[in-house]
Amino acid sequence: MNSIDAAWQALRHHKDKIQSVSLNQLFARDGRRFESFSLRLGDLLVDFSKNLITEETLRLLRQTSERADLAQRREATLSGAKVNISEDRAALHTALRAPREAVIKVDGRNIVPDVHGALDRTRAFADAVRNGSVTGAHGAAFRDVVHIGIGGSVLGPAMITQALTPYHHERIRVHFVSNVDGAHLHDTLRELEPETTLFLIASKTFTTQETMLNADSARRWITEALGEDAVARHFAALSSNFEAATRFGIPGERTFAFWDWVGGRYSSWSAVGLPVAIAIGPDGFAALLAGARHMDEHFASAPLEENIPATLGLIGVWYRSILGYASSAIIPYDQRLSRLTAHLQQVDMESNGKSRRLDGTPVTQPTAGVVWGGAGTNVQHSFFQLLHQGSDIVPVDFLVAAQPHEDMPGHHDMLLANCLAQSQALMTGRSLEEAKALLLAEGMVPANATALAPHRTFEGNRPSTTLLYRKLDPRTLGMLIALYEHKVLVQGALWGINSFDQWGVELGKELANRLLPAIKGATPEVADGSTLGLLDDLRRMRDV
């Protein structure tokens, strides 16, 4: 047995020991458990004391990470090595928030000057849109910005823009369109005016089918109202394909490039973040990048015992690969973070939803589970039933700010009380005896109390992590997003997989291209019986 296999085996043996101990017992034994199992970085506190771990658990997980060469994988990624082996690319989204004086080389070239040159252009254009010096074809300042993309080119920017609503420009509204379903673009444009609408088309290659179909429809909406010459004034491209953007009608000065070493799910830090910069301003966007850089520096330099992304990543591996938990939940107690889960689903599941190791062999333990969730307190009245009393254990991340942006008496106090209460309830639970005593105290007759008590019990011992921060500002949000990015890297390193490709999205796209002519009425290529049957019924329904 090699050293990494031995490390995994030690964790499996440790599982048997820890499963007989509850969180309540761990807190009873250690009056300083909170202090020992929490970490701080600036205004961010990460409390992982309510997780099913001990010091021995963490020691074994860190030992496993050392034998999986986590430190080397981290260094290779941050320094620009081509860690995305299936596409022969670096994965250097961290370079997008590097300081100007940094030196990060790809193929022998320092890319940092290029990064800052592109960011400077992006921020300058955002400022011009905000101050009205960039206008539409009739000279009117833009009131609406419609960002068209799909996947990471929308999920991240849309989440960030919504999260930072208190910092928005008072005149400009930012909208996001991603679905090829025409209803998405139609409903977005319904209340907009062509004369005051700017479109941003986000596609690295400027060939993404869904994005370009939406872009063509938006172009038609503009030209029908304002004429062909208006395209150059009402569109900008976030793309590396300047030639295709020019053919579309977007001049070079309105095309903002990013690079093939920027994955879509990490692209918000690049020119794809232009809608964010327009919404919150160049200074706000710079603060977002600075927060992410602060987390990058912490991840790169902090020892494992003090490293927040590494610690959360290791705990995630413990739950998925050793305890066998199939999913985890992200629950921000912040309405403006209601899109965070969707973004982190892509960051996590597209990165680590792999069943092959770097060398092409099958993985030897479960990799990424399902990430899901929603904004508290709404979700307390939907799926929290499952979290508390369901047959599966789902580890939860709670996120909450100590200070709100709004001066609305009573609201934030209640929000905080609910957040803390949920993590406490998941941990402590309620025994059968406690449930029965509560019902008796409420005046229920003993026979009824005995019958009802089992339905009012809570198993407890359900793990959670709480991320508490002073206020959701651009810098803090940057730190939080980067934290989860690095957590995913840590987990991928331990599983020995490539966290930076996404070939799983390709087969469905290929088949869609083959089926499109049949949808339009052509004779279908050879297909399975179900698909052929669906095509026949589809034709009948469309002919009615």
State how far the Cα of 95 lies from the Cα of 93, in Å rounded to an integer: 5
Neighbour tally for 362: CB within 10 Å: 7
> Contact 293/182 with Cβ under 8 angstroms?
no
State how far the Cα of 487 lies from the Cα of 470, in Å rounded to an integer: 22
Q: In 3-state terms, what secondary structure has residue 365?
A: coil
Could you give the angle at the alpha carbon of 250 between the alpha carbons of 249 and 251, nearest 5°? Answer: 115
State how far the Cα of 32 lies from the Cα of 26, in Å rounded to an integer: 10
- Run of H or E residues at 70: helix 70-79
Q: DSSP label at 458?
A: B
Q: DSSP label at 258?
A: -
Residue recorded with tokens 């993590």: 423
For the chain, report the end-to-end CA distance as a whole number of angstroms.
66
Question: In terms of DSSP H, where are the helices of 251-345?
Answer: 274-301, 308-317, 340-345
CB burial of residue 438 (10 Å; 0-12, 13-18, 19+): middle
Label the pairing between strands 197-202 and 235-238. parallel
Which sign, positive or negative, has the C-alpha torsion 341, 349, 424, 478?
A: negative
Maximum Cα interatomic distance, the chain, rounded to a whole number of Å: 81
Query: Could you give phi then psi for residue 392, rounded to 5 degrees?
Result: -105, 145
Q: Which residues are catalytic?
A: 350, 381, 509
Could you give the angle at the alpha carbon of 199 between the alpha carbons of 196 and 201, nearest 5°? Answer: 175
What token pair was written down for 378?
A: 């709404």
State how far the Cα of 191 lies from the Cα of 180, in Å rounded to an integer: 19
Could you give the angle at the alpha carbon of 534 between the alpha carbons of 528 and 536, nearest 5°? Answer: 105
Q: What is the four-CA torsion angle of 27, 33, 34, 36, rounded to 10 degrees?
A: -160
Q: Which of 472, 463, 516, 503 is nearest to 49 (CA)?
A: 463
Amino acid letter, 73: R
